[in-house]
Amino acid sequence: MSASVNGNGADPVASRSLLSVRDLRLGVGGEDSGFEPVVGATLRADRGEVVGVVGESGSGKSLTMRAIAGLLPPGVELRGGAIDVDGIDVATASKAQLRKLHGEKVGMIFQEPMTALNPTMRIGTQIAEAARAHHDVSRAEAKRRAIELLGRMGFADPENRYRLYPHELSGGMRQRVVIAIALAGEPGLLLCDEPTTALDATVTMRVLDLLVGLASEFDIGVIIVTHDLGVAARICDRIVVMYAGRMVEEGPAGEVLRRPRHPYTLALLRAVPTRDSTIQDLRAIPGSPPRPGDDLPGCPFAPRCEFAEPACLGPVEVTAVGDGRMTACRRHEVLAGMVSARG
């Protein structure tokens, strides 16, 4: 195995930092009775960087994105930690700051392009109104920008497509309209919540390539939430693995996927079919993820972990393990030894 992969953005310049999330805690219900779907999510993103957030459903990925965008669903509250998006502290942001956050700092792309678009509004108008929300431009100028964005998104004949309604488009085209809307406010950060889950495999690749292209072309940070490691491997510079509302591992994409430093990441990798794998090679992760509200004093993955030892039920600390990598596993050295021995 090669010595070290030169991960992109391994040594980020401080001024290129766009997003920093530290120890984010989100709660549902009252402080006493409720539970916390996110406990200690930590995340950062720089300009021009594509960050993948990976984990099972219910690991708190989507809620973390909604918290960053200042769009938490009703009933979910910020209980701790800090979110800083390009100088805006989301927890304490004023109404004016929030409107700046929405669209101008952060563009949001949703999982279901079917429901993310207003069914009674022309797609062009939906893009143009996003442009007008942040830039003092005339209707005609906003329309011109919307048409330009449609063109960039790969629509042939954007002038006429401008007048279509969402139901007249295919899933992939709709998702590209959603991307155009997210870009219309010219944000520095693009949050994509499972952007390709609802799409065909062939369309998926085109949409992903589009997103990666945008990151370098506009020098914006892109965060892609996905449960698909293949997607993450293909396009991400850096990967953050989440489990049970916590960040369990982080590092350059190639490193994390080749030499995981957390048993959960390893388990995820083993569950992905490859061209050479037979059905026997695939391993489902034993047990099931903790239910929301479960009391988890130690490592949340310990009950399902083949490397677990009694100490794993004690407090967990996130440690740096070199090459800009972090892990929440106390037995990462054992894991590293095993992975490289097999590698």
Partner 1 sequence: MTYAHFIGRRLLHVIPVVFGVTFVVFWLIHLVPGDPARTALGFHATPQAIAHLHHEWGLDQSLPAQYINYLGRLIRGDLGTSFRFQDSAGALIVERLPVTLWLIGYSAFLISLIAGPLALLAASKPGAMRDRLVRIFSIAGLGIPGFWLGLILIQYIAIEARILPAAGFGEGFMGHVESMFLPSLTIAVGIIPLVVRSLRAEVLKVADSEFVVTARAKGLSERRIRLRHVLRNALPPSVTILTINIGFLVGGTVVIERVYGLGGVGDLMLTAINARDFPIVQAVTLFFALIVIVINFFGDLLQALLDPRLETQ
User: Is residue 182 involved in binding partner 1 (CB under 8 A)?
Assistant: yes
Report the nearest approach of partner 1 to the CB of residue 340 (Å). Answer: 43
Q: Which residue has the tokens 């993820």?
A: 289
Using an 8 Å Cβ cutoff, are 212 and 50 in contact? yes
Task: Please count the CA atoms within 13 angstroms of the CA of 44 that sit on its side-chain side.
Answer: 18
User: Is residue 52 involved in binding partner 1 (CB under 8 A)?
Assistant: no
User: Is residue 104 involved in binding partner 1 (CB under 8 A)?
Assistant: yes
Cα 124 from Cα 289, distance rounded (Å) = 42
Among 78, 101, 240, 244, binds partner 1 (CB under 8 A): 101
Strands 50-54 and 238-243: parallel
Cα 307 from Cα 340, distance rounded (Å) = 16
User: Is residue 133 involved in binding partner 1 (CB under 8 A)?
Assistant: yes
Q: Rule CB under 8 A: which of 295-334 touch partner 1?
A: none
Among 39, 69, 90, 308, binds partner 1 (CB under 8 A): 69
Closest of 226, 221, 303, 313 to residue 263, by C-alpha: 303
Report the nearest approach of partner 1 to the CB of residue 115 (Å). Answer: 4
Among 4, 139, 167, 311, binds partner 1 (CB under 8 A): 167
Task: Count residues near partner 1 (CB under 8 A).
Answer: 31
Q: What is the dihedral of CA 228, 234, 236, 241, to 10 degrees?
A: 30
Residue type, 255: E
Using an 8 Å Cβ cutoff, are 52 and 232 in contact? yes
Among 116, 153, 198, 215, binds partner 1 (CB under 8 A): 116
User: Is residue 108 involved in binding partner 1 (CB under 8 A)?
Assistant: yes
User: Is residue 106 involved in binding partner 1 (CB under 8 A)?
Assistant: yes
Supply φ then ψ for residue 249, to 5 degrees.
-155, 150
- By CB under 8 A, name the binding residues for partner 1: 69, 71, 99-104, 106-108, 110, 112, 115-121, 129-130, 133-134, 165, 167, 178, 181-182, 184-185
